[in-house]
Structure 1
Amino acid sequence: MQEEYEKAGKIASKVRKEAAKKITAGMKVIDFIDWIESEITSQGVGLSFPCNISINQIAAHYTSPPNDDTIFCYGDIVKIDLGAEVNGYISDTAVTVVVEGDNVEPVDEQGNPLKMPGRLDDGNPVVTDEDIELRQNLVEASSSALENVLSIVKDGVTLNEIGKTVQDTINSYGFTPIVSLAGHSLEQNNLHAGISIPNYPDASTYTLKEGDHVAIEPFASSGAGITSDIPEYYIYSFMNNKPVRNPQAKILLKNISKNNRYFPFAQRHVKTSMDNNHFMRALRPLIMNGSIYPHAVLKDKADGMVAQTEHTVIVEKEGCEVTTL
């Protein structure tokens, strides 16, 4: 078990570092995600969830749908959240990057505006030097919060102490932690195993124990510090094999139950000959009956910019082992 966690962490760490160097303005998000996921799976391991690429005000749960035209622009603050699994043992890690490079026109070859569901603007936003400085400070606030938490994690530390450390650190930079997002415990084949690691002091007296595996992920916001849903869904989780009448939905559920049972998935991960329209029509009744859970894209409620930094750790008696360094 320990070796599997460490292997998953090492692979995710390597890909995260390479991805942070690779991202550039003008690049398509879907191409970037495809590269990240192929780099992970080429090592003979699985994905613990679809690679999340959340831009600017979007905090979490964005991954490219089929034929995504979303492009990165200069000055974007981009959360790169990825993970690997080895025999079901999980790594989960994230870094935030402020995008450099030259913008491209957000139009297709015919001059039509690109369809970019991963952006809350129309592309090529005007970004000032002050904007860049704020976003870089956000990245530092989030990463410093994680460093400070890692320095106190050990057997017996309370969740309240962790949350207070995150909040105090992010507040010291003039920003707000996102209180509606949290880290989480990890178990084999279970990405969110029951324990939530808060980003604010929640008065919890629950203590981490030696041997616990947890993902710690401070989110820093220049806005409200709380998220709201965008009515878009690109990541799903299998929940139950519930009866359904639609023949295509039955086939799709059987497929997902067999191949995507344990970890969140995107449409591109489902092995099916269905085109996009047929896939969505088959998926809808599965969502309605509770067989499949859709994860809404989340944004800062006040449209503030958001940064995220994350590591997976194994709690030890007098500290912790970070598997995703």
Structure 2
Amino acid sequence: MSTANDSLPGAPASALEELTISNEASHDEEDQGGATLNATKKKKKKSKKSKKKAGAGASGQSSPPTIPVSQLFPNNSYPHGQLCDYVDDNNYRTTSEEMRAKDRLNEQQLTDLRRAAEVHREVRQYARQIIRPGMDLTTIAEMIENGTRALVEERGFEAGVGFPTGLSINHCAAHYTPNAGDHVVVQDDDVLKVDFGVHVNGHIVDSAFTLAWNDRYAPLLNAVREATNTGIREAGIDVRLGDIGAAIQEVMESYEIVLDGKTIPIKPIRNLCGHNIGPYLIHSGKSVPIVNNNDQTRMEEGELFAIETFGSTGSGYVQEEGVCSHYSKAFGDQVPLPRLQSAKKLLHSITKNFGTLPFCRRYLDRLGESHYYLGLKHLVDSGIVNPYPPLCDVKGSYTAQFEHTFILRPNVKEVLSRGEDY
């Protein structure tokens, strides 16, 4: 799930080629939507072999996925994500017994995160095979969310969906999920961003990918995928957030795309960014820019981050547009109480079922809530609930997104959501 940051300057294929991952962020070609993606690049970069392949999903999973991952991986033996050794001033951490002992203190958190990550991998593997032009967004969203609920064994605040499934098309970059009655259908020439999350005991894994069925969008998807891999590679303990943004921007802007005979530079969307993640908080304070904004804030040991990058053929700047579907209860002790009785009733339901996790109107409908629009508006107007409307670049442009979640363990960086697909 994306973060809009206005403080930044000027801020189905049935099989996919296995994407080889490395600490240096491989940028091999990948089968995406049934077509080989051949990137048009201004400058070439070398790729290196993987140090360790991430979890590839469990054998024995049903199609569609319905078997809980706890049954496929008994005794909490969930696959590790991609493990990346620290470098430079932090390379001592890799072999330090002190750091290894410190790492063992976080065993339960890591187990929860790996369980959530495995759910994400298995659900998205199925989704990437199934999603095709002609499908409506509501069907796609419910397929992903129902699969998540089944595989994570949804149980209140112990495990469940991390946030509403984002299904943003073309110039819409983020925060679009269908409301009731939405009949938007994916078209052959669409560029579709799929962004969903899974949580276990409030530990959220947030990961996103982009699908396109027309070869011409290959450079856009490759640019954003490589930019995300670059951000992950550059991230580490004590690394400045602005330096990560600068590296992402350099990679993104090294690409261009030819559309309708016109060569267009691919721009990072400067007011969208990655973010760190806290317990039951998808956005927890720090933002990871995707342009150079000279932010001197540093990443710290133990922090959980989502690196997500967005590329655009438009202006490289998004604004709120359209009907809102995403919401979350405001965090903090100073949240006022609503005056309207309908708002009080709705707030009780939101607090009971979602807490500070994001939700959408479809989730309220699923709970049996009705006639809640006035109450929801009152909660938003009172600052009790925060709205997150769709974020869009200029009409006629195309945007893409890739995202992974990683944790800065004391002795190694673990890219939890990494899989064979991306």
Tell whether 2:361 aligns with 1:267.
yes
Q: Which runs of 5+ in 1 are unaligned?
A: 100-131
Distance, in Å, in 1 between the alignment partners of 2:254 and 2:122 is 30
- List per-residue Cα deviations over 1:44-98 (Å, max 9, x = no partner): 1311110100000000000010121111010210000011000000100000000
| TM-score with structure 2 setting the length | 0.66
Equivalent-residue separation in structure 1 for 2:384 and 2:238 (angstroms): 38
Distance 2:416 2:321 in 1: 32
Instruction: Verify the 8 A CA contact 1:155 1:318 in the aligned structure 2.
Output: no
Q: Residue 174 of structure 2 aligns with which residue?
A: 60
The answer for the alignment partner of 1:188 in structure 2 is 279
The one-character-per-residue Cα deviations of 1:1-23 (angstroms, maximum 9, x if unpaired) are 11111211121122223212211
Asked whether the equivalents of residues 155 and 319 of structure 1 are also in contact (C-alpha less than 8 Å), the reply is: no
Matches of 1:6 and 1:287 in 2, distance apart?
34
Shift of 1:198: 0.5
Q: What is the deviation of 1:200?
A: 0.5
Tell me if the contact between 2:330 and 2:356 (Cα under 8 Å) persists in the aligned partners: no
Residue number in structure 1 paired with 2:255: 173
What is the identity, as a one-letter code, of the residue corresponding to 2:417?
A: T
**Pair 1:79 & 2:193 matched:** yes
Q: Is it true that 1:95 corresponds to 2:177 in the alignment? A: no
Whole-angstrom CA distance in 2 between matches of 1:243 and 1:157: 40
Change in Cα spacing, 1:11 to 1:273, as seen in structure 2 (3 Å) is closer
The corresponding residue for 1:136 is 218
Q: Distance in 1 between matches of 2:342 and 2:203?
A: 32
Contact 2:276/2:285 (CA < 8 Å) preserved in 1?
yes
Runs of 4+ in structure 1 over 6 Å off: none
Provide Cα deviations, 1:128-170, integer angstroms capped at 9, x if missing partner. xxxx344221110000111222222222222122111111111
Matches of 1:189 and 1:205, distance apart in 2: 26
CA–CA distance in 1 between the matches of 2:150 and 2:369?
A: 25
The residue type equivalent to 1:60 in the other structure is: A
Q: Residue 152 in 1 paired to residue 234 in 2?
A: yes
Matched, 1:315 2:408: yes
Cα pair distance change 1:210/1:274, threshold 3 Å: closer
Relative to the length of structure 1, the TM-score reads: 0.85
Query: Which range moves more in the overlay, 315-324 or 148-157?
Result: 315-324
Tell me, what secondary structure is at the counterpart of 2:324? strand
Aligned residues: 291
Report the Cα distance in structure 1 between the residues aligned to 2:395 and 2:317, rounded to whole angstroms.
Answer: 8
Which stretch has the larger CA shift, 198-207 or 30-39?
198-207
Q: 1:8 aligns with which of 116, 130, 139?
A: 116
Of residues 238, 243, 264, the one that matches 1:161 is 243
Residue 304 of structure 1 deviates from its aligned partner by: 1.9
Q: Distance in 2 between matches of 1:68 and 1:48?
A: 22
Structure 2 unaligned segments of length 5 or more: list them: 1-108, 154-158, 257-265
Query: What CA RMSD, in Å, does the superposition of the two structures yield over aligned residues?
Result: 1.7
